[in-house]
Structure 1
Amino acid sequence: MTHHLYLVRHGEQLDAEYGVADGALSPRGRRQAELLAARLGGVNFDAAWHSPLQRAAETADIIAAKMPALEPEPSALLFDCVPSGPAPETPSAYDPFFKSFTPDEVEAGRAQMADAAAEFLRGGARGDRHELLITHNFVIGWFVREALGAPDWRWVSVNQAHCGLTVLSQKPGRPWNLVVHNDVAHLPAELRTGLPEVYGI
């Protein structure tokens, strides 16, 4: 009896490099999502959720089109957010990044991810269960940090490519296990976008 949680970052967004907060997938982002759908085609998912933002919703639609039995649902717990602020031990190299967010934004993100962890990392699955979450880089970083019990700020150093695949699993009575992180084997080199070098983090 194992609970499997598949964490997927949305595909590349059109015009994101120009500071557009949300929008449709780029042609490359759509191709990323199609290849990810093919990669996940053999998984019998019990449920799927996605961030309500357009880039995540479109990624979910492309994946669902390849899996007729899958009906992803929007969840406000998967919105893009900043899950925490820095701690005294956070390297000063991250100061400019954290200072670009207000205390209110950080507090809202912290509250959101506390609720998300309670909802999606609840454990206690009866029998094998496979769940898919289509969300954002920082959210996935937080889930990985939470599963490993790392200090709160360490999510900022856990990054995913567009349509990269991260899988967590948990057996009853055991902690969460990081099975794979940011697996991009389904994407050719020219489609591996969204890593930290692009965003300066």
Structure 2
Amino acid sequence: MATRRLYVVRHGAADAFGALTDVGQRQTELLAERLARLPIGAVWHSPLPRAVRSAQLIGERLRGVPVQEAPELIDHIPHVPEKPPAAWAGVFDGYDPAEAAKGERLADALTDRFARDAEVETHEVLVTHAYQVAWLLRHALEAPRERWLGLSCGNAAVTAIEYYTGAAPSLLLYNDMSHLPAELRWTGFGPSVRP
């Protein structure tokens, strides 16, 4: 039975224009050091600049590992709930049915491509965005579609999921930032008390 291991990571911290900040660059370098200890066979990334640059930095540390764009990893809202929680109302404000349907199609394409078993043993890195990490986590746990809301993750955090033939996926890690020193953790979250 072949196992597909996905290491789903959020890009490093970025500025308002989508470029990695100095903090984001350092986060990604430390993430790359962690990933270099694993038998990674491929790095896939979103087409957005913050993910592209993060994937390039990871690829520099994983010499010989192909780094490729995967359009399914682009930042998007994967599902608009019928009645969004009040705290999220502004996020969905103005979303029309066509935009919501496009997001659902992208989310389904993401899981169709990556959230499945493989014919051979694989270890793949997906460099993407917070909502896509949440979507893949929700999918692995077979939670309702609206459950992606609130499953936040930090910049350069690792979520690891295994997929097996004929079995439910296994969640190995979620939002793991142990490779980052305290001062580089929890970026990408709003202000709050941290555990």
Tell me, yes or no, whether TM beats 0.5: yes
State the distance in 1 between where 2:47 and 2:91 align: 25
1:1-201 equivalences under 5 Å are: 1-14=2-15, 16=16, 20=17, 23-88=18-83, 90-99=84-93, 101-123=95-117, 125-192=118-185, 193-197=187-191
State the distance in 2 between where 1:176 and 1:87 align: 27
Cα deviation 1:65-106 (Å, max 9, x = unaligned): 111111210111111000011134x54333233225443332
Instruction: Give yes or no for contact 1:82–1:109 (8 Å, CA) kept in 2.
Output: yes
TM-score by length of 1: 0.88
Cα RMSD of the aligned pairs, angstroms, is 1.6
Instruction: Give yes or no for contact 1:82–1:105 (8 Å, CA) kept in 2.
Output: no
State the distance in 2 between where 1:168 and 1:58 align: 23
Secondary structure, aligned partner of 1:168: strand
Change (3 A) 1:65 1:101: same
Percent of residue pairs bearing the same amino acid type: 37
Instruction: Give yes or no for contact 2:163–2:170 (8 Å, CA) kept in 1.
Output: yes
State the distance in 2 between where 1:71 and 1:47 align: 5
Amino acid across the alignment from 1:9: R
**CA shift at 1:188, angstroms?**
1.1
Secondary structure, aligned partner of 1:43: coil
State the distance in 2 between where 1:79 and 1:197 align: 25
Query: Which deviates the most, 126-135 or 60-69?
Result: 126-135
Amino acid across the alignment from 2:101: E
Instruction: Give yes or no for contact 1:50–1:134 (8 Å, CA) kept in 2.
Output: yes
Instruction: Give yes or no for contact 2:43–2:59 (8 Å, CA) kept in 1.
Output: no
Instruction: Give yes or no for contact 2:41–2:66 (8 Å, CA) kept in 1.
Output: no
**CA shift at 1:129, angstroms?**
1.2
**CA shift at 1:186, angstroms?**
0.6
Unaligned stretches of 5+ residues in structure 2? none
**CA shift at 1:44, angstroms?**
1.3
Secondary structure, aligned partner of 1:157: coil
Query: Which deviates the most, 55-64 or 150-159?
Result: 150-159
State the distance in 1 between where 2:19 and 2:77 align: 22
Instruction: Give yes or no for contact 1:159–1:196 (8 Å, CA) kept in 2.
Output: no
Instruction: Give yes or no for contact 1:5–1:168 (8 Å, CA) kept in 2.
Output: yes
Unaligned stretches of 5+ residues in structure 1? none
Amino acid across the alignment from 1:92: A
